[in-house]
């Protein structure tokens, strides 16, 4: 990466460490060869996610809609009420029927399980392009 090229800052929220790792491994360090490298940040709780979003600039948020205590959809809705200049948000969903929740939450896109590299990379590419 060129020294003057800023990396893309992406935060992933899930209470499941394996889900966070699956997303990071599926996308890797670049979405496309002509895009900057990704710097990943992780959060396991909604409170930590809210604090990080409040105090740090991210280019994209990925929130787990199946997180147990506070779902990614509820968290997205809360962030939309509390924060200005939110980056695009992807919600990881369990079923196609959950897509309406993505619109309700204010998120930009849903990625349905099972999570695959092509689904995740395509969603990130569309939002970060």
Within its chain, how far is the Cα of 5 from the centroid?
22
Question: Mind listing the pLDDT tens digit for each residue in 28-83?
Answer: 999 999 999 999 999 999 999 999 999 999 999 999 999 999 999 999 999 999 99
Residue 4 pLDDT exceeds 90: no
Which residue has tokens 């897509």? 99
User: Which domains can be identified in the chain, with CATH numbers?
Assistant: 8-128 (3.40.50.2300)
Sheet of 60-64: strand order equals 38-43, 8-13, 60-64, 89-93, 109-112
Tell me which residue has tokens 């924060």.
83
For 37-61, b where at least 16 C-beta lie within 10 A, e where not — what string?
ebebebbbebeebbebbeeeebbbb
Two tokens, residue 124: 């990130």
The pLDDT assigned to 2 comes to 47
Residues comprising the chain, all counted: 129
pTM of the full structure: 0.94
pLDDT value at position 98? 83
- The number of CA neighbours under 13 Å toward the Cβ of 49 is 30
């Amino acid at each position: 990466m060129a020294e003057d090229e800023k990396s893309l800052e992406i935060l992933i929220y899930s209470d499941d460490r394996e889900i966070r790792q699956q997303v990071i491994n599926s996308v890797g360090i670049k979405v496309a060869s002509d895009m900057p490298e990704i710097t990943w940040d992780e959060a396991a709780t909604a409170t930590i996610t809210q604090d990080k979003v409040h105090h740090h600039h991210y280019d994209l948020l990925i929130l787990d809609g199946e997180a147990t205590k506070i779902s990614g959809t509820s968290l997205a809705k809360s962030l939309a009420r509390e924060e200005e200049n939110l980056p695009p948000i992807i919600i990881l969903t369990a079923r196609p029927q959950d897509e309406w929740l993505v619109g309700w939450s204010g998120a930009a896109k849903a990625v349905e399980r099972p999570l695959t590299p092509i689904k995740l990379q395509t969603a990130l590419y569309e939002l970060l392009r």
